[in-house]
Amino acid sequence: MHEDPMMQESEVSLYLHAEFLPNIRQTTLYVSLPGTAAFDGIHPDVQLSQSRKAVTVSLPPPFQHVTETIKLPARVTDASRRALQTSIRPIQKTSGEPFEFSFRMPVDATDEALAPRDELIDDFVPWTADKMSGSTRIRCRNCEQHFMGSSSTSETASDNSDETTQAWDWKDLPSGNWAEMMDFWHCHKPDPHEDDEKDEKDSALRIEDQTAQTKGYGADSQVVAIPGTVLIDVATFLLAELDCKGLVKVNDEEQKSNTESTAHRTLDCAKCGSIIGMEDPVAKGWRLLKANVSLNTNHELDTETPDWETHSADVIIAAQLLELIERESARRFVVHCGQKNGLVLWVFNPNMKYSNLSSGHSIMAQQAMKVFFQETADVDGLLHPEIGNPSPLSVEEVELPSMVFETTENALRRSNLMLPASARKFNEWKVGLLSRFSRGPA
């Protein structure tokens, strides 16, 4: 075997991808080589580290200078060393397609990855109230324009003049099925005893209704923005309009032109024009999208360099899907932005660990959701099939702002290209990954 003279050293690279498979308690390692004639017949050498948490892959001559190391998503058994001496190698289907090897290694029974736990434990939502402080603020992730003002602040005040004078309250909103639960409770609460006096019953009902409204669980109660308070749900922050600054209302022309919908007002950054959120007339406030802002959680603003955090749109949509899985026990979703076309998502594994050695990825293990997806040109047909035509799928609807939908779609397509060639499709579905937020150690 002679080295291809057209093959430059800089072009010789190894692609490594490792994925933990909890159902069969194994880790699969993929090793891909460039699909040129120079690598036909080349077999990589894979060595397991002493800790059994990483592997080092190298090539034989004349490519002995090529070597890469990747951390495994779970510690494997010592017997895996023997498994690495044999590999499953698919036939190269078309010229130029990578030469791909795969290895399966049993996971160590004592590794924490196999510890039984709730895969949907509520640590998947970024920026919850317990992580905020009175000095936490919200700003544009693009131009750093601050959005939290004060209802008592003068319009001529500078951007940061009120930042140190008002302490904000941060409160988590209840889960999405809260209203349904309250309606159910009011419809099915126990009847009063027959021997109760009429006036006592009337008095008890009045007190109960007053308490329900005060506590926020009355049948006709609803979430409304509270001045001086930031209400938090999975994807947005809800603030009173008077508490916001640096935002301008813009009519959504696409919605306005749709005669079947009312016009929506988006909230754009007054400095850079980025879409930050939308007006919520029902809640009498403004909703700021988590994916489009940054926060200085648990850091004082008067420090020289406060740390500002951001979360990508795919992390936020993953949290929304996980919340729906937990609440509705659904795994298939029609995701759209109010248009005819959209995506059908099937959450195959809501909590997977993987490692990937490619541009923009660390060699360390990462957490994600494995999602099968496909395009659909008829969102309404899937959600509301004609009478007599059963829906081909039992699906939940997820409507996203247009820019969040586009970012999520792009994230799925990028992750699909990141996967090994043999792992990019499952029947008629494409395979993608959505990064998942996970709370670190306290």
Residue 48 and residue 72: Cα distance in Å, rounded? 10
Same domain for 78 and 155? no
Residue 3 falls within a domain, yes or no?
Answer: no
Same domain for 164 and 289? yes
Same domain for 49 and 151? no
Tell which of 238, 260, 295 closes a domain.
295
DSSP character for 88?
B
Residue 200 falls within a domain, yes or no?
Answer: no
Interacting residues of 86 by C-beta distance below 8 A, sequence separation 6+: 103
- The single-letter code of the amino acid at 192 is P
Per-residue pLDDT of the chain (442 residues; tens, 9 = 90+): 344 444 454 456 789 999 998 888 999 999 988 888 788 888 899 999 999 999 999 999 889 888 999 999 999 999 999 888 876 666 555 667 888 899 999 999 998 888 765 544 557 889 999 889 888 999 999 998 999 986 443 343 444 444 445 678 999 988 655 555 555 555 555 555 555 555 555 555 555 555 444 444 444 557 899 999 999 999 999 999 999 999 999 875 544 444 344 446 899 999 999 999 999 999 999 999 999 999 987 655 555 667 899 999 999 999 999 999 988 888 999 999 989 999 999 999 998 899 998 756 666 788 999 999 999 998 988 888 877 666 666 789 999 988 889 999 999 999 999 999 889 999 999 999 999 987 654 3
Q: How many domains does the chain have?
A: 3
Tell which of 265, 295, 325 closes a domain.
295
Residue 18 and residue 21: Cα distance in Å, rounded? 10
Predicted structure pTM score: 0.79
Same domain for 87 and 155? no
Same domain for 145 and 269? yes
Residue 345 and residue 424: Cα distance in Å, rounded? 15
Cis geometry, peptide bond prior to residue 62 (ω within 30 degrees of 0): yes
> What is residue 257's three-state secondary structure?
helix
22: domain CATH number is 2.60.40.790
Residue 440 falls within a domain, yes or no?
Answer: no
Same domain for 427 and 335? yes
Residue 369: closest CA among 130, 119, 181:
119
Domain that residue 84 falls in:
10-114
Q: What is the dihedral of CA 213, 218, 223, 228, to 10 degrees?
A: 20
- One DSSP character per residue, 261-325 reads SPPPEEEEETTT--EEEEEETTTTEEEEEGGGEEE-TT--TTSSS---B---HHHHHHHHHHHHH
CA 262, 267, 269 angle in degrees (round to 5)? 155
**pLDDT for the residue 360:** 60
